[in-house]
Amino acid sequence: MSLKNNSKTVILGTGGTIAGTRNDPDNPNIYNSGRLGITDILAAASVDVSGLEFQDVAQIDSKNISLPVWQDLLKAVTQAQQRSDVGAVLITHGTDTLEETAFLLHALGPWPKPVLLTCAMKPADHPEADGPGNLADALALADNPGLSGVHVVFNAKAHHALHVQKTSTDVLQAFSSGEQGVSALKTPAGWQLQPLLLAELLLEKPSQTWFLQQSLWPRVEWLTHHAASTPTLIQALLQPLDSAPPLRGLVVAGTGAGTVKPSWQSALQLAMALGVEVWLTSRCTWGRALSQAQQVAGTLVDLPPAKACVALSLHLMAQDESASAA
Ligand code: SIN
């Protein structure tokens, strides 16, 4: 039950392993994501639902997240934030693209009341399901009066949306936010908020109205530079296709400080000459492209590639919105 100012927590279900069930009871690791609705997840986790409101926004494996689901989620979060009887929003989500959804919501904020996301590495009917504990932890953190913004609650830590990344596929501590991004720690005395020094997100973003009106996510692709890579993928992406809208943006996860070999530099220069926006980051988990290593024009971006793709799409939407107003 949510206690903060006697206000409610609104829970929005989207699917994921936290909503998954096993196919074969003898093999707990074979399961399908997103099978349970939020009512069944809360029942399976024995959550006391007084003081809670809940709603299914989607029931998907988060690898299938799409613009319409993000739009529905944004609408639901906005509505909940505007209500005086609501103190926090909690989203249940798959782990695989959780950092993208968290980043998107952060970028489209600010949110004066906390928007928490939680998830699980084991399905709801697993003998060692971690979803119930994460849900209970997130509900307790939702009551913390000092919290605002977007955070991922997982395995006794809360991570800020700007920094959190899924860093493991097979251990329970599957998320990390490096040294800078832990926003709260669960202690025997309860949740303790941690001081956060967040860089301002210098990102052009569309208005919520424009974002909600769009039927297409601007086409942005992500390429990782590696020792044996050739520029042929970049050249292929520049070809017009009947089956896809034209390429608008490229996120390049360069080696080390964001470097790419000369053949990539030429191919990227051609992409930019054809009007493709190129953003440069690093393939290192905690690395970023550094200006002193920059060999190709393009925008250096202080985000990991998955979040850079979301940010670049928002940037392109913002440009479209400005152009439509001109
Ligand atoms: C998903 O992201 O929906 C599947 C994987 C997970 O939740 O752990």
Q: Would you say residue 158 has pLDDT above 80?
A: yes
Ligand 1 centroid–CA 62 distance in Å is 6
Task: Give mean pLDDT, residues 178-199.
Answer: 92
296 — pLDDT class (breaks 50, 70, 90): confident
Q: Would you say residue 248 has pLDDT above 80?
A: yes
CA-based nearest residue to 232, from 264, 206, 271, 269? 264
Bridge partners (DSSP) of residue 281 are 253
Instruction: Pick the range with the lowest mean pLDDT from 91-105, 194-208, 246-260, 274-288.
Output: 194-208
Ligand 1 centroid–CA 295 distance in Å is 37
What is the spatial distance between Cα 138 and Cα 150, in angstroms, rounded to a whole number?
12
Q: What integer pLDDT is reported at residue 2 of this predicted model?
A: 47
Q: Would you say 281 and 305 are in contact if contact means Cβ atoms under 8 Å apart?
A: yes
Q: What integer pLDDT is reported at residue 1 of this predicted model?
A: 44
Residues known to be catalytic: 17
- Tell me if residue 249 falls in helix, strand or coil: strand
Q: Are strands 157-160 and 182-187 parallel, antiparallel or unpaired?
A: antiparallel
Q: Would you say 9 and 55 are in contact if contact means Cβ atoms under 8 Å apart?
A: no
The ligand 1 site (C-beta within 6 Å) comprises: 15-17, 33, 61-63, 94-96, 119, 121
Q: What integer pLDDT is reported at residue 172 of this predicted model?
A: 86
In Å, the largest CA–CA distance within the chain is 62
Cα 180 to the center of its chain, rounded Å: 17
Q: What integer pLDDT is reported at residue 215 of this predicted model?
A: 97
Under the phi-then-psi rule, with left for phi > 0, alpha for psi from -120 to 50, and beta for the rest, what region is 19? alpha
Q: Would you say residue 39 has pLDDT above 70?
A: yes
Q: Would you say 298 and 260 are in contact if contact means Cβ atoms under 8 Å apart?
A: no
Q: What integer pLDDT is reported at residue 202 of this predicted model?
A: 82
3 — pLDDT class (breaks 50, 70, 90): very low
Task: Give mean pLDDT, residues 171-190.
Answer: 93
Q: Would you say residue 189 has pLDDT above 60?
A: yes
Ligand 1 centroid–CA 119 distance in Å is 8
What strand order describes the sheet that includes 52-60?
A: 52-60, 8-15, 86-92, 115-118, 150-154, 157-160, 182-187, 190-193
Q: Would you say residue 294 has pLDDT above 90?
A: no
Query: CA of 176: how far to CAs of 31, 182, 231, 232, 308, in Å?
Result: 25, 8, 32, 34, 17
Average pLDDT, the chain: 94
Residue closest via CA to ligand 1's atom 1 equals: 94
Q: What integer pLDDT is reported at residue 200 of this predicted model?
A: 76
- Tell me if residue 44 falls in helix, strand or coil: helix
Q: Please report where in the chains the tokens 């390049």 appear, as a residue.
A: 252
Ligand 1 centroid–CA 298 distance in Å is 33
Q: What length does the chain have?
A: 326
pTM of the model: 0.96
Atom of ligand 1 nearest to the CA of 97: 2
Cα 99 to the center of its chain, rounded Å: 3
Atom of ligand 1 nearest to the CA of 61: 3
Q: Would you say residue 52 has pLDDT above 80?
A: yes
Atom of ligand 1 nearest to the CA of 17: 7
Residue closest via CA to ligand 1's atom 7 equals: 94
Angle subtended at Cα 263 by Cα 259 and Cα 266, rounded to the nearest 5 degrees: 90
What the chain holds in terms of domains, given with CATH numbers, is 4-193 (3.40.50.1170), 208-325 (3.40.50.40)
Count CB neighbours of 81 within 10 A: 18
